Chain A
Amino acid sequence: MHNFITYYLGTGFLGSFVSSVIPIVFVLSYALVAMYLELKISAHMQDRLGPMRTGKWHGWAQPLADVLKLLQKEDTIPTAADKLLYILAPLLVFVGSYAAYAAIPFSPAYIGADINVGIFYVIAVSAIVVIGILMGAWASDNKWSLLGGMRTAAQLVSYEIPSSLAVVAVIMVAGSLNLNDVCAAQTGWFWNWFVFGKFPFLFVTFVIYFIASLAETNRTPFDIPEAESELVAGYHTEYSGMRFAFFYLAEYANMFTVAAVASVLFFGGWNSPFGTFMSGAVWGAFWLIGKGMVLVLVQMWLRWTLPRFRVDQLMYLSWKVLTPFALADLVAVGLWTVLR
């Protein structure tokens, strides 16, 4: 039973609909929690307190207040903007980020779509985000947005290469593109996880994947597109209110996707680190979400520590550092797997 919803409700419209809405519920609540954590963790790292007032207890309602504020903002569309593309862009970005949730195995009993090409699908669908960003940049009819958008597109496309190469290395070891099978290959105690396997090559693979996917999500130190505070605010300059909220939500959704994929590929997915203790359908969900959150926290930690790269240094990192290492690593892992 790979998807308890379709098991009980059938694979017709009802079952599929409910099954595809559950990740949305998760993403929305996760986004609120992640926003709050970001505010609080950044504050404490900087020796200050962060939100303390909204919601009386340590400002827990701050993200909620932010969302409500964004909802009631005036919806402005620049007069010279390409209306259709302008409206479509945030939707496309969000759809691209969200569609990846279909193939992530939240638990042994729940995976949106148990397809045989799981990870391939995730990577392919995440690329839709690039189209959305370019659309947004172009449709804003703003010189800076266009420049920012083109840089983002270049960044996203370049970093997909090392990221995919890293994924391929893991797939070679697991023997299947299906993410459920990848999880299943890591059962047992935590030393069975792929990150400790074929030491040190799969660990290097994890580092490459993590850095590349950090660039995919536009987080510092790769946040040239957003914190283009040097000149303007990048591709989402002209967006306000709910449209901006979509971009923002998509960024957080992306963060978790990337973290969840990394957990599945390297950290055992829904397996418990203690073997059969604390394992099962519900525990599985807990473990996957927990591991994903830990990686999300690491992403936030990096954001508040590191300065940002300049565009050419970013490209250098991708093409001249990550890609050669990923290729070399792929060869090493492949040889090890074959020669056993």
Chain B
Amino acid sequence: MAELHTEEMVLNMGPQHPSTHGVLRIELVVDGEVVVDAIPHIGYLHRCFEKHAEALNYQQVVPYCDRMDYVASMNNDHAYVLAVEKLLNIRVPERVEYIRVIMAELQRIVSHLVAIGTYGLDIGTFTPFLYCFRDRETVLDLFERTCGARLLYNYMWPGGLSHDIPGDFVERTKIFIEQFPKTIKEINELLSYNEIFVKRTANVGVLSADTAINYAASGPVLRGSGVKWDLRKNDPYSIYSQFDFDVVVGKGEVGTLGDCWDRYMVRVREMEQSLRIIGQAIDRIPEGDVQAAIPKRIRPPVGEALVRTEAPRGELGYYIVSDGSQNPFRVKGRAPSFVHISMLPEISRGYLIADMIAIIGSIDIVLGDSDR
């Protein structure tokens, strides 16, 4: 019997597609239904952040940093101001450190809620998405009461914070801490352990630990493959060393270690750990002035500083070079999503087209982060 000659077809999952995580174009080379190669094309959201930073002073770069990973804005600010403070060699009051950590962890919860909700949407359920966003509202409300904005905060300034927390912040956060575990339980019942969801995501997009390390993966993507690496524990910054929490690692419970379900589940469990950190921090906020250490004019000495932090998407780093003037000479943002997109061809070979969606959703990219 003569062999059937099958041709490979090139499909375009174009910059606009319904299960969008931003504007990303993936060129899929498929043989029937099986993906032979997936070539991502990025740059649709490039806004010249690093070029802009060269023309602005250090304080003015902060709103631009917000807009890099717009889903996890506090974490971006945190990394940047830590880098500037390292350049300036100033120490911020402890109150500032505590509030920064609380805000960063709240932001982590919010960002993971978005990731989980939209992942449900990709797989086909509409309901968990709305439950996640309902809980997100409580936290966004907290943020609005503190700094006035709901998504892009411009809250952490080099040397301190833009506003002190309002009087009822501690109470409201405690109420949130109390009611949030119920939502996590609901999400687990409705989505995480649902057999259909499990079947869609287990054994799909398997990323082995070696590949992950070779590709410089970080965050939940790396931890989902079983590698226990969290910058908050392995390279502590700010005051993370004072808190007691676990590093969540994927264990291959329902499929191969390093599949989409593991990465997804790491995010769900990380939310619980973030809740623990917030619970510990919220009771111990010391008194102080959050604006005491903010310099009048930021003019760092000539030098460079590199700071890396654990953002919800992975390892976020800022490398700032100062030439002694008011504007930075160079600001480089090391975006986790950029690195993770480069892994896409590797982990999607051999799977079906429908699995591509599951894989993209599980590595949780935000195009603002990857394109800057």
Interface string of B219-247 (1 = CB under 8 A from A): 00000000000000000000000000000
- When distances are taken between beta carbons in the complex, the residues of chain A under 8 Å from B19 are 229-230
CA distance A313 to B130 in the complex (A): 26
Distance of A242 from chain B, by nearest CB (Å): 24
Distance of B69 from chain A, by nearest CB (Å): 25
- When distances are taken between beta carbons in the complex, the residues of chain A under 8 Å from B130 are 46-48
Distance of B11 from chain A, by nearest CB (Å): 8
Q: Whose C-beta in chain A lies nearest to the C-beta of B12?
A: A231
Q: Does A308 contact B (CB under 8 A)?
A: yes
Q: Does A74 contact B (CB under 8 A)?
A: no
Q: Does A227 contact B (CB under 8 A)?
A: yes
Whether B357 lies near A230 (C-beta < 8 A) is yes
Whether B127 lies near A305 (C-beta < 8 A) is yes
- When distances are taken between beta carbons in the complex, the residues of chain B under 8 Å from A68 are none
CA distance A308 to B191 in the complex (A): 12
Q: Give chain A's interface residue range (CB within 8 Å of chain B).
A: 20 to 34
CA distance A48 to B131 in the complex (A): 10
Interface string of B119-161 (1 = CB under 8 A from A): 0101111110011001000000000000000000000000000
Binds A, one of B86-94, B257-265, B277-285, B347-355: B347-355
Distance of A212 from chain B, by nearest CB (Å): 16
Whether A310 lies near B125 (C-beta < 8 A) is no
Residue from B122, B125, B353 within 8 A of A306 (CB atoms): B125
- When distances are taken between beta carbons in the complex, the residues of chain A under 8 Å from B123 are 307-308
Residue from A45, A230, A308, A311 within 8 A of B196 (CB atoms): A308
- When distances are taken between beta carbons in the complex, the residues of chain B under 8 Å from A45 are 127
Distance of A270 from chain B, by nearest CB (Å): 35
- When distances are taken between beta carbons in the complex, the residues of chain B under 8 Å from A308 are 123-124, 196
List residues of A (239-262) whose CB comes within 8 Å of B's CBs: none
CA distance A223 to B126 in the complex (A): 13
- When distances are taken between beta carbons in the complex, the residues of chain A under 8 Å from B11 are 231
Q: Whose C-beta in chain B lies nearest to the C-beta of A42?
A: B126
Whether A306 lies near B131 (C-beta < 8 A) is no
Whether A310 lies near B352 (C-beta < 8 A) is yes
A47-B134, A229-B19, A230-B19 are contacts. A306–B126 as well, Cβ < 8 Å?
Answer: no
Whether A227 lies near B199 (C-beta < 8 A) is no
- When distances are taken between beta carbons in the complex, the residues of chain A under 8 Å from B131 are 46-47
CA distance A230 to B221 in the complex (A): 22
Residue from B33, B124, B199, B357 within 8 A of A220 (CB atoms): B124
Distance of A289 from chain B, by nearest CB (Å): 28
CA distance A227 to B130 in the complex (A): 18
Q: Does A121 contact B (CB under 8 A)?
A: no
List residues of B (183-205) whose CB comes within 8 Å of A's CBs: 190-191, 194, 196-197, 199-200
Distance of A319 from chain B, by nearest CB (Å): 16
Distance of A80 from chain B, by nearest CB (Å): 19
Q: Does A309 contact B (CB under 8 A)?
A: yes
CA distance A227 to B194 in the complex (A): 20
Whether A312 lies near B352 (C-beta < 8 A) is yes
- When distances are taken between beta carbons in the complex, the residues of chain B under 8 Å from A306 are 124-125, 194, 196
Whether A46 lies near B127 (C-beta < 8 A) is yes
Q: Does A221 contact B (CB under 8 A)?
A: yes
Distance of B281 from chain A, by nearest CB (Å): 30
Q: Does B13 contact A (CB under 8 A)?
A: yes
Whether A304 lies near B127 (C-beta < 8 A) is yes
- When distances are taken between beta carbons in the complex, the residues of chain B under 8 Å from A307 are 120, 123-125, 191, 194, 196-197, 200
- When distances are taken between beta carbons in the complex, the residues of chain B under 8 Å from A231 are 11, 13, 17, 353
CA distance A184 to B227 in the complex (A): 65
Q: Does B167 contact A (CB under 8 A)?
A: no
Whether A313 lies near B124 (C-beta < 8 A) is no
- When distances are taken between beta carbons in the complex, the residues of chain A under 8 Å from B356 are 230
A229-B18, A230-B19, A230-B357 are contacts. A310–B200 as well, Cβ < 8 Å?
Answer: yes
List residues of A (283-315) whose CB comes within 8 Å of B's CBs: 304-313
Distance of A82 from chain B, by nearest CB (Å): 22
Q: Whose C-beta in chain A lies nearest to the C-beta of B28?
A: A231
CA distance A229 to B353 in the complex (A): 12
CA distance A319 to B122 in the complex (A): 26
CA distance A310 to B120 in the complex (A): 14
Distance of B226 from chain A, by nearest CB (Å): 25
Interface string of A24-54 (1 = CB under 8 A from B): 0000000000000000001001111000000
Whether A230 lies near B120 (C-beta < 8 A) is no
The residue among A227, A230, A304 with the most chain B CB atoms within 10 A of its own CB is A230
CA distance A48 to B352 in the complex (A): 35
Q: Whose C-beta in chain B lies nearest to the C-beta of A304?
A: B127
Distance of B316 from chain A, by nearest CB (Å): 30
CA distance A48 to B129 in the complex (A): 12
A229-B19, A230-B354 are contacts. A309–B196 as well, Cβ < 8 Å?
Answer: yes
- When distances are taken between beta carbons in the complex, the residues of chain B under 8 Å from A313 are 196, 199-200
CA distance A313 to B33 in the complex (A): 14
- When distances are taken between beta carbons in the complex, the residues of chain A under 8 Å from B191 are 307
Distance of B31 from chain A, by nearest CB (Å): 14
List residues of A (191-206) whose CB comes within 8 Å of B's CBs: none
- When distances are taken between beta carbons in the complex, the residues of chain B under 8 Å from A46 are 126-127, 130-131
CA distance A305 to B189 in the complex (A): 11
CA distance A268 to B191 in the complex (A): 35
- When distances are taken between beta carbons in the complex, the residues of chain A under 8 Å from B120 are 307
- When distances are taken between beta carbons in the complex, the residues of chain A under 8 Å from B355 are 310
CA distance A253 to B17 in the complex (A): 30
**Residues of B bordering A, CB below 8 Å:** 11, 13, 17-19, 33, 120, 122-127, 130-131, 134, 190-191, 194, 196-197, 199-200, 352-357
A-B contacts, 28 of them at CB < 8 A, read A46-B126, A46-B127, A46-B130, A46-B131, A47-B131, A47-B134, A48-B130, A221-B196, A223-B124, A229-B19, A230-B18, A230-B122, A230-B356, A230-B357, A231-B11, A304-B127, A305-B125, A305-B127, A305-B190, A306-B194, A306-B196, A307-B194, A307-B196, A307-B200, A308-B123, A308-B124, A308-B196, A311-B352
**Residues of A bordering B, CB below 8 Å:** 42, 45-48, 220-221, 223, 227, 229-231, 304-313
Contacts A48-B130, A307-B120, A309-B199 known; 5 new A-B pairs at CB < 8 A: A230-B18, A306-B125, A307-B197, A308-B196, A310-B352
Considering the complex of A and B, which 7 residue pairs feature the smallest CB-CB distances, nearest first?
A308-B124, A46-B130, A307-B124, A229-B18, A307-B123, A307-B125, A310-B354
